[in-house]
Structure 1
Amino acid sequence: MTKTIRPLLAGNWKMNGTRASLDQIKAIGDGVKTPLSDKIDTLLCPPATLLYVATALCDDSPLAIGAQDCHQQVSGPHTGDISAEMIADCFGTHVIVGHSERRRNHAESDMLVRAKAHAAHEAGLTAIICLGETAYEHNSGQTLDVLKRELASSVPDDSTAESTVIAYEPVWAIGSGLIPTRENIEEAHGFIRSELVERFGNGGAGMRILYGGSVSGANARDLLDIPNVNGLLVGGQSLKAVDFLAIYAAFERQFA
């Protein structure tokens, strides 16, 4: 982990969570009230139905609350969608865009992801832009080609280190229990960093690059030791406070 970049630990609840889950959000919010919160940022992205209540529950916590997607338009006849402005109106601070499940299940293109990220920027939100290769692309040696294309097409020109986070999530590792080798992750994150620096200069040098894909308390420390891993994007292990806080504790060693 590049220690000059403030790390981010983010949790993506996906389509999980009801009002009965609010106690877990409150427990996570309380659990990150430690001295470590002065050194790293924490974020939870529950479903939109819990967004406003979650921000209220965590009002006195360093835990930020974000959303899992947004529409590219401010408003209009888009039944079932929410805009970046609506997220900000609920006191959300971040939004995930371009997750592989959105790209696959909703046929979202790189250009649509780019438009959503730009909408997030316009609303004052931090966009977490997800990138990653499928199993076929990985096995056929196309990983860096995929990352190059998605970085070029999905990341807006107005992106800065303050407004944008990149999340590398190899599609084949998400929820599978499979983890790329250290060499695979180091190569991917190093490539993403070089592409960001080439395009954005110092801004690209300061952008956070998260790793996501079957992250747990058991492997978090090893993942954080890899160069250019500036934090983690966690799926299923963020649903329960005990699991998320175990990953949070793994960051302690980085500042020992």
Structure 2
Amino acid sequence: MRKQIVAGNWKMNKTAEEAVALTSEIVNMVADEVTGSVEVVLCVPFIYLPALQRYVGGRISVGAQNCHQKASGAYTGEISAPMLKSLSVPYVILGHSERRQYFGETDALLAEKVDIALANGLKPIFCCGESLEQRQNEDYLAIIRDQVTNSLFHLPAEQFGQVVIAYEPIWAIGTGLTASADQAQEVHAAIRSHIASKYGAEVADNTTIQYGGSVNAANAAELFACPDVDGGLVGGASLKSRDFVDIIKAIR
């Protein structure tokens, strides 16, 4: 059974006190219930990682939202993969649409970030997805396949097996719009088929593919019931403990 992962992407939110309070609430609500193949990851601002690690454990961990493509150097304000490794951080989000849009991250750059993350023992949560225009032009599957190919298909199968993929339709991020279960399943199945064409059915069947795009307590159960949807990358709803816990429970 492949791993089911519910990851919260806090983005640039919460003060230090608020971060501790939210983490404590989530852990206290679900610590005894996260079992089997389910994992929970709180992807928090970098400065909170050490403080929040003391509140998590077992199948609940904290992850990072980004890392630089270089191991070190004169890159003021950036965070390196070795820094995250030194904190024993297991996961890092790479290629989120906001990074692509606001910071100009390309497929080639993301391939470098994936490489350095894996070299430092981090598991990338690699984001891919289409814009509204690409969806309307009906070339979205080709766009998504290209993103996966360009940033991930240079990896040997063993390394690819450490990657989590998150499908996030850009038109559904922070808009309140959500892909229907059928739309999500179509894309997830296409991604899995594309992986199988490169690495074979076994690798594809074992790859965790999350859905990200306005996941909430009301739609999580229907999305997670899709055969190729393996949890979610949750934005706004991860900032409210009760909403996020309800999403976690929906994965059963």
Do both proteins adopt the same fold according to a TM-score greater than 0.5, normalized to the shorter chain? yes
Query: 2:99 corresponds to which letter in structure 1?
Result: R
Q: TM-score, normalised by structure 2?
A: 0.94
**Partner residue, 2:95:** 98
**Partner residue, 1:213:** 213
Structure 2 gaps of 5+ residues are none
**Partner residue, 2:190:** 191
The 1-side partners of 2:33 and 2:197 are apart by: 35
8 A Cα contact 1:55 1:65, kept in partner: yes
Counterpart of 2:182 in 1: which secondary structure? Answer: helix
8 A Cα contact 1:17 1:46, kept in partner: no
**Partner residue, 1:243:** 243
The 1-side partners of 2:137 and 2:15 are apart by: 40
Q: TM-score, normalised by structure 1?
A: 0.93
Deviation at 1:113, TM superposition (A): 0.8
Deviation at 1:207, TM superposition (A): 0.7
Give the counterpart of 2:55 among 43, 51, 57.
Answer: 57
Structure 1 gaps of 5+ residues are none
**Partner residue, 1:118:** 115
The 1-side partners of 2:14 and 2:217 are apart by: 21
Question: What is the CA deviation profile of residues 207-248 of structure 1, one whole-angstrom value per residue up to 9, with x for unaligned ones?
Answer: 100000000011100001112101111001111211110111
Deviation at 1:55, TM superposition (A): 1.1
8 A Cα contact 1:55 1:90, kept in partner: no
**Partner residue, 1:180:** 179
Deviation at 1:38, TM superposition (A): 3.1
**Partner residue, 2:28:** 30
Q: What is the aligned length?
A: 248
8 A Cα contact 2:123 2:162, kept in partner: yes
The 2-side partners of 1:108 and 1:237 are apart by: 25
The structure 1 segments of at least 4 consecutive aligned residues displaced by more than 6 Å after TM superposition are: none
**Partner residue, 1:8:** 5
Matched, 1:88 2:60: no
The 2-side partners of 1:214 and 1:35 are apart by: 24
Matched, 1:71 2:68: yes
What RMSD in Å do the two structures reach over aligned CA positions?
1.4
Give the counterpart of 1:140 among 137, 140, 154.
Answer: 137
The 1-side partners of 2:161 and 2:54 are apart by: 24
Deviation at 1:6, TM superposition (A): 2.0
**Partner residue, 1:44:** 42
8 A Cα contact 1:55 1:91, kept in partner: no
**Partner residue, 2:166:** 167
8 A Cα contact 1:161 1:208, kept in partner: no
Deviation at 1:142, TM superposition (A): 1.3
